A and B are shown apart, each in its own frame.
Chain A
Amino acid sequence: MTFEAPKAPAEQITYANLLFYGSWGAIAILMITFFLYVTGVFESYIPINEVSQYWSMPVGQYVREANIPIGWGWATLLGNGDFLNFIGIVLLAGMTIVCFLVILPYYVKQKDIAFVVLVILEVLVLCLGASGLLGTGGH
Chain B
Amino acid sequence: MLRHGCRALTVKAVFLFLWLVSSPAWATAEASAIEGSQRPWWFWPIILFFFCFALGILAVLAGVGGGVLYVPLVSGFFPFHLDFVRGTGLLVALAGALAAGPGLLKRNFANLRLALPVALIASSCAIVGALLGLALPTNIIQIALGATIIFIALLITFSKNVERPVVEKQDGIGGALKMAGAYLEPSTGEIIEWKTHRTLPGLLLFIVIGVMAGMFGLGAGWANVPVLNLLMGAPLKLSVGTSKFLLSITDTSAAWIYLNQGCVIPLMAVPSIVGLMLGSFVGVRILAVAKPKVIRYIVIVVLLFAGGKALMKGLGI
Report which A residues bind B (CB closer than 8 A).
1-6, 8-9, 11-13, 15-17, 19-20, 22-24, 26-27, 30-31, 34, 37-38, 48-49, 51-59, 62-63, 68-72, 82-83, 85-86, 89-90, 92-93, 95-97, 103, 112, 114-115, 118-119, 121-122, 125-126, 128-130, 132, 134-139
CA distance A134 to B258 in the complex (A): 10
Q: Does B101 contact A (CB under 8 A)?
A: yes
Q: Which residue of B lies closest to A135 (CB)?
A: B261
Of residues A38, A86, A93, which shows the largest number of chain B Cβ atoms within 10 Å of its Cβ? A93
B14 interface residue (CB < 8 Å to A): no
- For A15, what are the chain B residues with a Cβ–Cβ distance below 8 Å? 105, 112
11 A-B contacts, Cβ less than 8 Å apart? Answer: A5-B183, A55-B79, A59-B81, A59-B263, A63-B261, A118-B116, A129-B252, A138-B261, A138-B262, A139-B136, A139-B137
Q: In the complex, are the beta carbons of B266 and A126 less than 8 A apart? A: no
Are A125 and B270 interface neighbours, CB within 8 A?
no
A17, A118, A134: the one contacting B102 at CB < 8 Å is A17
Question: Residue of A at shortest CB range from B106?
Answer: A16
Which residues on B are within 8 Å of A, measured CB to CB? 33-34, 36-37, 39-42, 44, 79-81, 83-84, 87, 91, 94-95, 98-99, 101-103, 105-108, 111-113, 116-117, 119-120, 123-124, 127, 131, 134-138, 176-178, 181-184, 189-191, 248-249, 252-257, 259-270, 273-274, 277
What 7 A-B pairs have minimum CB-CB distances, sorted nearest first? Answer: A2-B189, A5-B184, A23-B98, A85-B266, A20-B102, A16-B105, A59-B83
Partner of B108 from A6, A17, A49, A115 at Cβ < 8 Å: A6
Contact assessment for B112 and A11 in the assembled complex, using a CB-CB cutoff below 8 Å? yes
Which DSSP category, helix, strand, loop or mixed, fits chain A's interface?
helix
Assuming the contacts A19-B105, A139-B138, asked whether A82 and B183 have C-beta atoms less than 8 A apart, the reply is no
Most buried by B among A12, A89, A90: A89
Beyond A72-B260, A138-B263, 16 extra complex contacts between A and B, CB < 8 Å: A6-B184, A16-B102, A16-B106, A23-B99, A53-B36, A55-B79, A56-B34, A63-B262, A85-B270, A115-B113, A122-B116, A132-B260, A135-B260, A136-B135, A138-B134, A139-B136
**Taking CB as reference atom, which chain A residue is nearest B85?**
A55
Inter-subunit contact A24/B99 (CB<8 Å): yes
Residues of B within 8 A of A121 (CB): 120
Given contacts A63-B262, A92-B91, A135-B261, contact A129 B102 (CB under 8 A): no
What chain A residues lie within 8 Å of B252 (beta carbons)?
93, 95-97, 126, 129
